[in-house]
Amino acid sequence: MTSTSTDPSAPQDLRAARLDLAGTRDFAVPGAGGTRRAAIAAATDRWLTGIFDEAVGARPGLALAAVGSLGRADSGPLSDLDLVLLHDGRSHREREVAVLADRIWYPVWDAGLRLDHSVRTAGECRSVAADDLTAAVGLLDLRLVAGDADLVSGVRSSVAHDWRANARKRLPQLVEATAARHLRHGELAQSQEPDLKESRGGLRDITVLRALTHAWLTDRDRGRLDQAHARLLDVRDAVHLTTGRGRDRLLRDDADAVAALLGLSDSDELLTVVSTSARTIAYALDGATRRAGQSQRARTLRVGPRRPAMVPLGYGLFRHDGEAVLGSTQQVGVDAELPLRAAVVAARNRLPLAPQTLANLSRAPRLSTPWPDGAVRQLTELLASGAGLVPTWEGLDQAGLVSQWLPEWDAVRSRPQRNAVHRHTVDRHILEAVAQAARLSRDVQRPDLLLLGALMHDIGKIAGANDHSVEGAKIARGAMQRLSLPPQDVALVELLVREHLTLIEVATRRDLDEPATIDAVVEVVDGRLETFELLRALTVADSQATGPKAWTQWRADLLGTLTDRVRERLSGRPVAPPQEQGAVDLPPEARDAIGLGHPFVTVTQAPTGWVVHVYDRDRHGLFADTAGVLAAQGLTVRSARLATQDGIAVDQWVVESPGGDAPEPRRLAASLIRLAGGDRGALGALARSRSTRPAFPSAAGATRAFVLPSGSAAASVLEVRTQDRPGLLHDLGMCLAQEGVGVRSAHIATHAGQTLDTFYVTLPGGGPLSPAKTAQVLSALIDACDLDDRPVGG
């Protein structure tokens, strides 16, 4: 068949010949796909050349050209033929050209091949390209099949010149059209019956990438991108061959046969290959689109020097032209935690990490095992970043950093879920569950453990696992130990992973009026209300991330009923507030300074930053002033323990410096002296930073503030849970001062970007607050957290 299929005297055999050429190449052999497609294109060209020669002969000023997949020489066995009959507009009359065109088109139709055809002059090609974006992109791949080579070359050059000349106008059109197509066809990487061509990350996006490079606005990434493109082409070719149809959708019923032809173990491995390839293409397109936009902006004529606008973001990163980039002074090769810190900064600011920055970060030293102090906190803050998590994680994964941090991730990356309930692959579902968990983080005492539990909850969905919850708990235990979590936290994350399906199964399958049902749940959480709240939040996050079929109103109501009854059972076991700090010995230098009416400040280095001790005579507003000074000097408070003994404030603050500079004790003390004297200028930098900081909605929703009952007989114990931000503690302190209550002691903690702040507050004359005053103060605290538009200090 192959020997006769390329003979122009037998046009009806071309379809069979193309299938035959595809079937003679082993799909499982690396690199065979390119050879196969080249052979198909060559055979098609010879066949069409024979038809052209027979129909047209040696007439000048005529040429047959290909666009689309044949123009790019990557046709599948049954791909359409996209052909253009070009003429110079002078040598032949229009009717004559039409007759010649029919002599070419009819043999193609007779051969049973789908055909998209047109007849145009060079001027008409330019005109159509100017009016029709799709036609313009297609004509960039125009390739000679037969006839006048100079005519085809001229048209291709003219169209490409016009494309580059009008790039400023065409780029927004191309971006908008691409986004609309993605919206219509969905995300290839997350589809169980993917459209290999039109979906986001599909073959059409490679064409868009080529168009961007034709405009000289960006360059195509090579290596992994070319491999991903070749894999999708192989899958498409296999679909053609196994179904006998020239379609681009991989249907569930065809997946096993396609996988077998490609030498893959099963349809799950096939979908993993497709998803991984699509993610690589989508990520490359996103980056190329940004590069193209940056290139256009760089070409804009400006008056004066062209200096890059670099907005500092902290930890050596800057905002530049819509991306997060490393500063030139940042030493990548010596800081193993830098990639995590950079990821947190990028995700919080909802900026993609620049490709070169990611490449540099991937060369940072690997984290030691177990992880150093502070690395886990950076990871949980990344997980708490809400809308910025998924795109940031994708960049990290493309750069190989996720595999360095979590080798367990490799087994679930792009792994499909053959379940109509699930919308996403395993890894993407995990990230969606983490994002949902971040929204619920203010419902629990340990949001960091909730997020780590969400990250690990489906890590056991690997090949060969009988019970992914049990398997995942084992994997999670090893991962959390490697991350250096304390044993009790490791055990809690392991419990969350092992039992993450328990509550929804009990709620939907057990009698909730039966006391034994509630007893069983209480036993699962070891009788601890805080553990139950973590498990409940993970259950909700998992269900919401799965999709609407998994989180129905019926399921939500049943889980709500179960929650009410378990909480009622465990309500007699309240969570104890942190204990007030006992008496400490004041350093002699502190006593001397305070005796002279001055604060005394010391700074010592800690594994994750610096410990700042502040000793001063207690006064109204000291807590707010100290927090404001630390924020104004660019320091991030990670935790604090504040106490008052014998009229002296004894405060310990654990801080980080995003700029890398150590706090200066004398400068801190001088600022406190200014504030005590009524000079609010010491907080000017805090006001300026607020005016330039972008406002993003919190991933965790509304602030929560409430009373911890039985916390103290001499004070009211208030707890505040909210999104951490620069200046927050200053705002809380000012709020308490304005409400006329004193802070006897405080315990400040930050978990995964969420604050868990406990204040022991009293009336001016001492003693706990009245119920009415408590309600008033709690309302004011919530306003102070959620409204970030007041002037600093008032």
pLDDT for the residue numbered 608: 77
pLDDT for the residue numbered 575: 58
Task: Delimit the CATH 1.20.120.330 region(s) of the chain.
Answer: 169-298
Q: Return the higher-pLDDT residue of 698 and 566.
A: 566
Helix extents (H) in 633-683:
665-676
370: preceding bond cis by omega (within 30 degrees): yes
Task: Delimit the CATH 3.30.460.10 region(s) of the chain.
Answer: 2-164
How confident is the model over 173-198, as a mean pLDDT?
94
Helix extents (H) in 310-363:
338-348, 355-361
CA 615/CA 529 separation, integer angstroms: 38
In three-state secondary structure terms, 650 is strand
pLDDT band, residue 793 (cuts 50/70/90): very low
pLDDT for the residue numbered 104: 95
How confident is the model over 524-548, as a mean pLDDT?
94
pLDDT for the residue numbered 700: 65
Q: Return the higher-pLDDT residue of 689 and 107.
A: 107
pLDDT for the residue numbered 787: 65
- Nearest CA to 435 out of 392, 479, 490 is that of 392
pLDDT for the residue numbered 10: 44
pLDDT band, residue 791 (cuts 50/70/90): very low
- Beta carbons of 786 and 745 less than 8 angstroms apart: no
Tens of pLDDT, residues 51-85: 999 998 888 899 999 999 999 999 999 999 999 99
Q: Return the higher-pLDDT residue of 93 and 448.
A: 448
CA 138/CA 685 separation, integer angstroms: 54
Angle at 385 between CA 279 and CA 481, to 5 degrees: 85
Task: Delimit the CATH 1.10.3210 region(s) of the chain.
Answer: 422-575
pLDDT band, residue 167 (cuts 50/70/90): confident
How confident is the model over 171-182, as a mean pLDDT?
94
Query: β-strands 115-120, 81-87: how paired?
Result: parallel
* pLDDT of 694 higher than 50: yes
- Beta carbons of 325 and 318 less than 8 angstroms apart: yes
* pLDDT of 794 higher than 70: no
How confident is the model over 43-52, as a mean pLDDT?
94
How confident is the model over 714-723, as a mean pLDDT?
90
Tens of pLDDT, residues 638-673: 888 888 888 888 889 998 887 778 899 999 999 999
pLDDT for the residue numbered 233: 96
* pLDDT of 341 higher than 60: yes
Name which CATH class applies to 2-164: alpha beta
pLDDT for the residue numbered 451: 97
* Amino acid occupying residue 764: P
pLDDT for the residue numbered 234: 94
CA 40/CA 364 separation, integer angstroms: 46
- How many other β-carbons are positioned within 10 Å of the β-carbon of residue 172? 11
* pLDDT of 383 higher than 70: yes
pLDDT for the residue numbered 335: 85
pLDDT band, residue 619 (cuts 50/70/90): confident
pLDDT for the residue numbered 688: 74
pLDDT band, residue 307 (cuts 50/70/90): low
Whole-structure pTM value: 0.86
Q: Return the higher-pLDDT residue of 152 and 574.
A: 152
Q: Choose the most confident range, by mean pLDDT, from 235-239, 297-301, 722-726.
A: 235-239
- Beta carbons of 484 and 788 less than 8 angstroms apart: no
pLDDT for the residue numbered 146: 95
pLDDT for the residue numbered 305: 52
Point out the least confidently predicted range of 171-185, 219-233, 584-598, 680-694: 680-694
Q: In what order do the strands lie in the sheet with 62-67?
A: 115-120, 81-87, 62-67, 143-147
How confident is the model over 599-625, as a mean pLDDT?
89
- Nearest CA to 616 out of 632, 599, 603 is that of 599
Q: What is the dihedral of CA 41, 46, 51, 55, to 10 degrees?
A: 120
Give domain 422-575's CATH architecture.
Orthogonal Bundle (1.10)
Q: Return the higher-pLDDT residue of 382 and 111.
A: 382
Give domain 169-298's CATH architecture.
Up-down Bundle (1.20)
In three-state secondary structure terms, 611 is strand
* pLDDT of 4 higher than 60: no
- Nearest CA to 687 out of 651, 718, 730 is that of 730
pLDDT for the residue numbered 174: 94
Point out the least confidently predicted range of 302-316, 350-364, 598-612: 302-316
> What one-character-per-residue DSSP string does 509-566 give?
HS-TTSHHHHHHHHHHTTT-HHHHHHHHHHHHHHHHHH-TTTS-HHHHHHHHHHHHHH
* pLDDT of 439 higher than 70: yes
pLDDT for the residue numbered 574: 53
Point out the least confidently predicted range of 42-46, 282-286, 389-393, 761-765: 761-765
Q: In what order do the strands lie in the sheet with 716-723?
A: 600-606, 609-617, 648-656, 636-645, 742-751, 754-762, 716-723, 704-707
Point out the least confidently predicted range of 328-332, 495-499, 504-508, 690-694: 690-694
* pLDDT of 743 higher than 50: yes
Angle at 336 between CA 332 and CA 341, to 5 degrees: 85
Share of the chain above pLDDT 70, in %: 92
* pLDDT of 612 higher than 80: yes
- Beta carbons of 231 and 273 less than 8 angstroms apart: yes
* pLDDT of 241 higher than 50: yes
